[in-house]
Amino acid sequence: MEYRTGKPGRIVVAKFDDHDDVLANLTDIARKENIRAGVFYLVGGMREGKIVAGPETDTLPPAPVWKELGESHEVIGIGTIFWQEDEPKIHLHGAFGKKDMVKVGCLREKAETFLVLEAIIIEIEGIDAKREVDPAVGLALLKLQ
């Protein structure tokens, strides 16, 4: 295990409207505000989304199990922002519910707001970290400096 300590910096409150692209907007905020390290919370609705709900088996590199939302869902999520090369990289895990069905996973593609989605982003100051692709697992993992 590795760890570093930091402190809270700026806090950004964002409201995404119906059909807004969630991942693109989070990335845009991080880029525009130059948030190099942060944590965020999401609450609201999504109409589209593609998530990874675990690997097929416990082998490396992992073969992802893809699930699509395909219709409106309630969502609660938490994620991190760290940069990979010259771009902010969003890592978001969430629970997505509709009626008596709940899906949990890592949101990766086609993230579109249903009606409204709120985001609270907390910048972390004093942390020197980035994402780098780990060839053994084929994923961009966190690397602490």
pLDDT digits (tens, 9 = 90+) for 81-110: 999 999 999 999 999 999 999 999 999 988
Whole-prediction pTM = 0.94
Q: What does the pLDDT read at residue 140?
A: 94
pLDDT at residue 11 is higher than 90:
yes
Domains and CATH numbers, the chain: 7-144 (3.30.1330.80)
User: Between the CA of residue 136 and those of 54, 57, 61, 110, what are the distances in Å?
Assistant: 17, 15, 6, 27
70 pLDDT band, cuts 50/70/90, is confident
pLDDT over 90 percentage in the chain: 93
- Average pLDDT of the chain is 96
Contacts for 32 with CB less than 8 Å, ≥ 6 apart: none
Give 39-53 pLDDT, tens digit per residue.
999 999 999 999 999
Dihedral sign, CA of 35, 37, 43, 48? Answer: positive
pLDDT at residue 55 is higher than 90:
yes
